[in-house]
Amino acid sequence: MKINTSSAPRKTGSQPTRFEVFGLRVSALRRRKGYSLDDLESITGIDKETLLRIEIGKARLEQVADSIPSLEKALDVSNQELDEFLVRLIMEE
């Protein structure tokens, strides 16, 4: 299945969704480690489509939650950092 990574243009001043903010965090951490999506797929066992969906903010909450422990380990972030980041985003609404 091919994932459409393009999205409709944002209106000026519109805010990213919570999942987009989370995805941007994951993407930044991945790039900081110098990993491609293929690298992260190999390290975590999370399929590339799911990783991409997470990074662009299109993954379901269950996919994100299930992926957090593996992502934290692979991206060398402290235990529960991504989990706590996601919870804070959800609670901000």
Domain count, the chain: 1
Residue 66: inside a domain? yes
Is 4 part of any domain? no
Q: What secondary structure, in 3-state letters, does the chain show? A: CCCCCCCCCCCCCCCCCHHHHHHHHHHHHHHHHCCCHHHHHHHHCCCHHHHHHHHCCCCCHHHHHHHHHHHHHHCCCCCCHHHHHHHHHHHCC
| pLDDT tens digit sequence for 1-20 | 444 444 444 555 688 888 89
pLDDT digits (tens, 9 = 90+) for 51-91: 999 999 999 888 998 999 999 999 999 877 888 887 887 78
Mean pLDDT (whole number) for 25-29: 95
Spell out the residues 6+ positions from residue 54 whose beta carbon is closer than 8 angstroms to its own.
Answer: 22, 23, 26, 63, 64, 67, 71
Residue at 1 is within a domain: no
Q: What is the pLDDT of residue 12?
A: 56
- Which residue in this structure is represented by tokens 């190999």? 42
What was the pLDDT predicted at 11?
55
CATH of the domain at 23: 1.10.260.40
Residue 44 lies in a domain: yes
Q: Residue 3 domain-assigned?
A: no
Enclosing domain of residue 25: 18-91
More confident residue, 4 or 25: 25
Query: In this predicted structure, what is the pLDDT of residue 86?
Result: 79
8 located within any domain: no
Is 24 within the bounds of a domain?
Answer: yes
pLDDT value for 50? 97
